[in-house]
Amino acid sequence: MDPIPVIDTHQHLWDLDLFQLPWLDLPGMDVLRNSFRMTDYREATRNCPIIKSVYMEVNVHPDLQRQEAQYVLALCEEDDNPMSGAVIGGSPGESSFADYLDEFAGNPFVKGVRTILHDPDRPRGMCLTPQFKENIRLLGDLGLSFDLCMRPAEIQDAVELVDACPETRFIIDHCGNMSVQPDQQQDRAAWETGMQQMAQREHVMCKISGIVATATPGTWQPADLKQNIDFCLDTFGEDRIFFGGDWPVCTLTADFESWYQALLWIVQDRSETFQRKLFHDNAAAFYQLKS
């Protein structure tokens, strides 16, 4: 069959002349300590049938979240690139979040908000404070979603947050961040249980993304990713999954095309309908992206 048109629901960009990304100072981030602009993304995806993308915030310094949002929303306005929506950064744990959101909530390109929950300076349970929950409920009132990017052993915290915010839609990023490394499986039982519980909540989606970054650079094979991905696909089902490129973070282990081709291989025996939902249809509907 002809290639299925792809919506990339996890497109990162960053310009280090404009933004500070403190996490780039962490060990092992050498290949990411460069600017990655739209022209670079177009080159990285030139052999993939990307027709639309949704920007994903890149954990800039909190003082720069407003500027980051303005930067990407300007890109969404342009016709020379695939960016059709944005999940902007924000700090739901802060009382100032509602005022911050006021500036952007009416913009049709703003689809949701994310704040990273797995950084070393972010303790377990930070998403369970009364202030955090109140602000995530506010997202639901505004028709916006919240992306959960957290440690695999802490998915249970997400279950509590989701239950406290029944009118807000959630996305679990990167298959719940469970590593594919054989010596890093101590959290698998907690991850599987948490993911199964999340799948029971109908307002939660699972993003099939990021997982290749946990593979072994230079020697990984698509089969290394298959167990974790199949678990997520089977647990959430064909209507509550979508694809994310996670470029350039994926380049810690793989270029965009290698990750995309690996996922194609993993789902090759699933129906064309399933594959179309994964790569295009579910994202188009969830984010209400215009044709």
Mean pLDDT score, 13-37: 96
Mean pLDDT score, 250-254: 97
pLDDT digits (tens, 9 = 90+) for 146-199: 999 999 999 999 999 999 999 999 999 999 999 999 999 999 999 999 999 999
pLDDT digits (tens, 9 = 90+) for 184-242: 999 999 999 999 999 999 999 999 999 999 999 999 999 999 999 999 999 999 999 99
3-state SS, the chain, equals: CCCCCEEEEEECCECCCCCCCHHHHCCCCHHHCCCECHHHHHHHCCCCCEEEEEEECCCCCHHHHHHHHHHHHHHHHCCCCCEEEEEEECCCCCCCHHHHHHCCCCCCCEEEEECCCCCCCCCCCHHHCHHHHHHHHHHHHCCCEEEECCCHHHHHHHHHHHHHCCCCEEEEHHHHHCCCCCCCCCCHHHHHHHHHHHHCCCCEEEEECCHHHHCCCCCCCHHHHHHHHHHHHHHHCCCCEEECCCECHHHHCCCHHHHHHHHHHHCCCCCHHHHHHHHHHHHHHHHCCCC
286 has pLDDT over 90? yes
Res 291: pLDDT: 59
Length of the chain: 291
Amino acid occupying residue 96: S
pLDDT digits (tens, 9 = 90+) for 107-134: 999 999 999 998 888 888 899 999 999 9
In whole angstroms, how large is the CA radius of gyration of the chain? Answer: 18
290 has pLDDT over 80? no
